[in-house]
Amino acid sequence: MSSSSNIINKGKMALPKRIILVRHGESAGNIDGTTYATTPDNKIPLTPQGNDQAKRAGSRIYHVVSDSGACSKWKVYFYVSPYLRTRSTLREIGRAFPRNRIIGAREECRIREQDFGNFQITERMKAIKETRERFGRFFYRFPEGESAADVYDRVSSFLESLWRDIDMNRLHHDPADDLNLIIISHGLAIRVFLMKWFKWTVEQFEHLNNLGNSEFRVMQLGIGGEYSLAVHHTDEEMLEWGLSPDMIADQRWRAHASKDDWIEKCPWYLDTFFDHFADSSCEDGEDIPCSHQL
């Protein structure tokens, strides 16, 4: 049973209506890679355009959480990476929200950028990233830095804390209000977050495209109690992000169905690992291999 189902069954409190994942605005490092050679990654600022992008993102997010003004009972809570560019993005996004709509904000180190290994010498990093493409983006570990798999581990730890925050009402949320969690982070950390949440495989992760600056993904609670990207986003958008047709079908299913039927109604997930079910003639309860080969 999923964490969300557990919380619903306990009846302790309402789940957040949305979890919105936001990538930071354009930074100096995004337009000039040599910046990383002289400035610590965590201290790289937004460009003027990055500030504008973040401000516009705030307005768009405001319209999402307020249902374009149709909903009057809602609040937001922010989690933010400690990097300068994410904190600056939060500051600009926050301009769209009146104080009475913001429950709080918290800096969270576990959603920081992937560690690339201190100062990044341009020519050396070019060679390293070429090696990463050959090795695979998920498991390749940067010298003196992290792999995406390392980021996965700390994001998984953050998710556990996130559920405890919700379950124990550490966010001081009034259940009468729609709660919207807004997480301002980095491209890879966001993709890893989605991978962990939706149980995507490493192969599926490898096909995901990065978010643009100040671009965001909206995970919204469906009518059956599951979060889905398909409540707010279109199939065309998800296809552009690198989701396969099966992954998109799963998102559509999550928007309307209960997790209890997930394995039965979404066989594509098991088909990722097994290839014999189509020819299976075994009855339920039999323990012998369906191929009848001992």
Distance between CA 289 and CA 146 in Å, rounded?
41
Q: What is the mean pLDDT of each run of 10 residues along the chain (294 residues)?
A: 39 80 97 93 97 98 93 95 98 97 97 91 86 90 93 98 89 88 98 97 96 98 93 98 95 82 59 66 52 44
Exposed (0-12), middle (13-18) or buried (19+): which is 245, by Cβ within 10 Å?
A: exposed
Distance between CA 215 and CA 247 in Å, rounded?
20
Does 247 reside within a domain?
no
Told to judge if 172 belongs to the known catalytic residues of this protein, a careful annotator would answer: no
SS3 89: helix
Does 248 reside within a domain?
no
Distance between CA 212 and CA 18 in Å, rounded?
20
Domain range enclosing 135: 3-221
Note the pTM of the prediction, 2 decimals: 0.87
CATH number, domain containing residue 78: 3.40.50.1240
Which of 92, 108, 113, 146 is catalytic? The answer is 113
Cβ-Cβ contacts under 8 Å for 100 (sequence gap 6 or more):
none
Distance between CA 263 and CA 31 in Å, rounded?
45
Does 239 reside within a domain?
no
Would you say 22 and 182 are in contact if contact means Cβ atoms under 8 Å apart? yes
Distance between CA 181 and CA 14 in Å, rounded?
13
Give the count of domains, the chain.
1
Does 285 reside within a domain?
no
pLDDT of residue 260: 62
Strands 18-23 and 178-185: parallel
Does 132 reside within a domain?
yes
pLDDT of residue 290: 46
Told to judge if 26 belongs to the known catalytic residues of this protein, a careful annotator would answer: no
Does 147 reside within a domain?
yes
